[in-house]
Copies of this chain bind each other. A is one copy, B any other.
């Protein structure tokens, strides 16, 4: 393909987000970062993306200011990637994607066994289901407010990928 069209100078906010978020690899890496997977190899293994794609996207995300590269030891040199405040603020987007998928992206048979991932509101202990705000206490859900419990199927899948 020719170089993909640049959207970073559009005035439309959705266009600007799409410049970064309209990319499968970026979304998958963000998901892993939100789940606490910070090491390069762990992200590559869980996402199933090749190392040069992970490398390229992490560099891009660092340039965009959503992740920070951080050395967690000197000898041998080892790095991890952390979400910045700008990155953590993408929680709403990822959470909305999760909610939509839980509502629409599973077949009847799959859905019967409950959501792929249950989320509990730490503040009040309620199962939030797929709502934007907590159905029990009515609070807006933010980064860190939820405790996730993957279904057995999801747990098995992740284990199979060695992540």
Contacts and interface: CB of A to CB of B under 8 A. Distances in A.
A21 B97 contact: yes
A60 interface: no
A102 B22 contact: no
A26 interface: yes
Contacts of A149: none
Copies in the complex: 2
A27 B4 CA distance: 14
Contacts of A27: 14, 17-18, 21-22
Q: Interface majority SS on A: helix, strand, loop or mixed? A: helix
A125 interface: no
Contacts of A102: 13
15 contacts: A4-B24, A12-B157, A14-B31, A15-B31, A16-B105, A17-B98, A17-B100, A17-B105, A18-B31, A19-B24, A21-B21, A22-B23, A92-B100, A132-B140, A133-B140
